[in-house]
């Protein structure tokens, strides 16, 4: 097998103008879906992914913490100040790699989706898997860091003896000390979900459009 045929095996068949005749949408829909997925993913970068409100009697307005793909916002300093009593590490120590790479990862996913549009074989699936799983991955990673922070408390901290390791819930309501935590996914995360769904939809239309062409190409090859 030559390298040319190896690449063409991955890229799959090109669509001839004959194929397009009268059924242009058939082949364009996957691309539209993937473009929408990219758009949604790009928008999500500018929006908060996750938000937590901490309520306590002496904070009548609550404390706010908002996570974007690349940074934290809100009462980070005050929350860190309070956490030092129980020996919790600083919030900005969590997921520092993820936040440093966050925007680049999103850009990479967008590029991969773009590339997937050009690949007319099942390999396209491989390219969009990151975008497909991204929302789930975000939550899993968040839960991991919440667990990590809640379980690596400094034993020498002032209140270390009175606080057992804990995991603040990544979504929903939790309690720690006099604080009630309310966590929710935010617009950015929902946009990532929308992106993921567009990718899934695109895969379906992709298969419907290109599988027959691919099969035809294989048969032609075998025949040749």
Q: 179: helix, coil or strand?
A: strand
| Residue among 90 and 101 whose Cβ is closer to another protein | 90
- Radius of gyration for the chain, computed over Cα atoms and rounded to the nearest angstrom: 24
Task: Give the residue, chosen from 5, 14, 24, 25, that forms a contact with another protein under the rule CB under 8 A.
Answer: 25
Residues 165 and 160: their CA atoms lie apart, in Å, by 9
Each residue 85-124 as x (binds another protein by CB under 8 A) or -, in order, gives x------x--------------------------------
Residue given tokens 């804990």 in the structure block: 166
Question: With respect to another protein, which residue has the nearer C-beta, 22 or 224?
Answer: 22
With CB under 8 A as the rule, give the number of residues binding another protein: 37
Order the strands of the 72-74 sheet from edge to edge: 72-74, 59-67, 50-56, 179-185, 172-176
29 binds another protein (CB under 8 A): yes
Q: For residue 56, state whether it binds another protein (rule: CB under 8 A).
A: no
Angle between helices 24-45 and 123-151 (to 10 degrees): 20
Scanning the chain, the segments in alpha helix (DSSP H) are 3-11, 17-20, 24-45, 76-86, 96-118, 123-151, 187-223
DSSP string, 62-109: EEEEEE-SS-EEESHHHHHHHHHHHTPPPGGGTTHHHHHHHHHHHHHH
Q: Is 24 in the site for another protein (CB under 8 A)?
A: no
**Binding residues among 183-202 for another protein as defined by CB under 8 A:** 184, 186-188, 190, 193-194, 197-198, 200-201
What's the min distance (Å) between Cβ of 66 and another protein? 8
Whole-angstrom Cα distance, residue 85 to residue 5?
64
Question: Is 6 an interacting residue with respect to another protein (CB under 8 A)?
Answer: no
Residue 71 binds another protein, judged by CB under 8 A = yes
Residue 13 CB, nearest approach to another protein (Å):
19
Question: Which residues bind to another protein, rule: CB under 8 A?
Answer: 25, 29, 33, 46-48, 51, 60-62, 64, 68, 71-73, 75-78, 81, 85, 92, 158, 184, 186-188, 190, 193-194, 197-198, 200-201, 204-205, 208
């Amino acid at each position: 097998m030559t390298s040319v045929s190896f690449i063409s095996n991955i890229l799959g068949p090109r669509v001839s103008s004959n194929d397009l005749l009268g059924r242009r949408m058939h082949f364009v829909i996957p691309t539209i879906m993937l473009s929408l997925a990219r758009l949604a993913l790009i928008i999500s970068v500018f929006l908060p992914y996750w938000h937590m409100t901490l309520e306590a009697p002496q904070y009548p307005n609550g404390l706010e913490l908002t996570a974007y793909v690349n940074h934290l916002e809100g009462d980070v300093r005050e929350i860190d100040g309070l956490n030092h009593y129980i020996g919790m590490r600083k919030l900005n120590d969590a997921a520092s790699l993820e936040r440093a790479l966050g925007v680049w990862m999103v850009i990479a996913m967008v590029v991969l989706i773009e590339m997937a549009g050009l690949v007319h074989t099942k390999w396209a699936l491989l390219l969009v898997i990151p975008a497909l799983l991204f929302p789930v991955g975000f939550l899993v990673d968040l839960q991991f860091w919440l667990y990590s922070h809640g379980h690596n408390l400094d034993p020498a901290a002032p209140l270390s003896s009175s606080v057992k390791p804990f995991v603040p819930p990544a979504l929903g309501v939790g309690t720690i000390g006099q604080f009630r935590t309310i966590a929710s996914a935010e617009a950015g995360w929902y946009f990532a979900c929308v992106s993921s769904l567009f990718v899934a939809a695109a895969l379906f239309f992709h298969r419907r459009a290109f599988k027959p062409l691919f099969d035809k190409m294989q048969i032609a090859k075998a025949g040749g």
